[in-house]
Amino acid sequence: MNSRSLKKFNVKYGPYALVCGASEGLGAAYAEALAKRGLHLVLVARRKDLLENRAKELKEKYPVDVICLPLDLGDYETAKRRIGALEVPIGLLVYNAAYCPIGLFEETSEQQLARLVAVNITGPLLLTRLVSEAMIQNRRGGIVLMSSLAGGQGSPRLASYAASKAFNAILAEGLWKELKSRGIDVIASCAGAILTPGYKQAQHARAPGTLQAAEVAEKTLHMLGKGPIAVPGGVNKAARFLMSRIVPRKSAIAIMSNNTGALS
């Protein structure tokens, strides 16, 4: 980005960005992409040591302030209290935190399902409500929610996770229209496979269209303000079009079943 674009980005979404799930993988990539653009950061994740190491790296590399909030986004009341107590203005929310139980639905416990709802649905829904209040008053800001290509249709062995990602995409589309007139940009990033530590652990072979985390973060931020949905990567764009517009629904589910069969 040139200096004029960087200044515009900072005015629109600064001075602080709240990045959830920021200790590693895609969340860490978002944090770096935003620090590179000059935004100060509030980083949220469960693991304090990883979070503080990441903050130290970013402060050494970029002239930005980094605040660490080690907390579990599955506990919204605690998250609300600690984020609500921040004395810095949040101009951008990136909700990247997610919980993904892998396996057959019948083998997924009630506790796992409850945690999925808390982290993947309740968290982004209520946190968006919380931080958007000040954004509406200031008539500027941005919200990035993470969806997934898995949420475009039923995804066996990821059924509950895929459903939660579909929720985030539809939420973002509705808020994109509602909040646009208030000066707030909303986008859902419908990413495919991303080379994160969690993905490498769960998937034994690289799926078509797999991207580096930094590329997903950059492409999503580039699309912020240009529409309600971002699909990083040419292969993923083609796959989403094919699965949602061309292939019959039953066939799309069968294709996803083939792709998720190797997850463990």
Question: Of the residues 13, 16, 30, 161, which is catalytic?
Answer: 161
Q: Among 179, 172, 157, which Cα is nearest to 264's? A: 157
The full length of the chain comes to 264
Q: For residue 13, indicate whether it is catalytic.
A: no
Give the chain's count of helices (H) and strands (E): 11, 9
Sign, Cα dihedral of 194, 197, 200, 203: negative
Beta bridge partners of 93: 18, 143
Where do we find the tokens 């249709």? 153
Q: Is 220 left (phi over 0), alpha (psi -120 to 50) or beta?
A: alpha
Q: Please list the alpha-helical segments (H only) found in the chain.
A: 3-13, 25-36, 48-61, 76-84, 110-116, 123-138, 159-180, 197-202, 213-223, 234-241, 249-260
172: Cβ–Cβ under 8 A, 6 or more apart, which residues? 143, 145, 147, 186, 187, 188, 228, 229
Both tokens of 89, joined, read: 């203005």
Q: Beta strand pairing status for 184-191 and 211-212? A: unpaired
Q: Which residues are catalytic?
A: 161
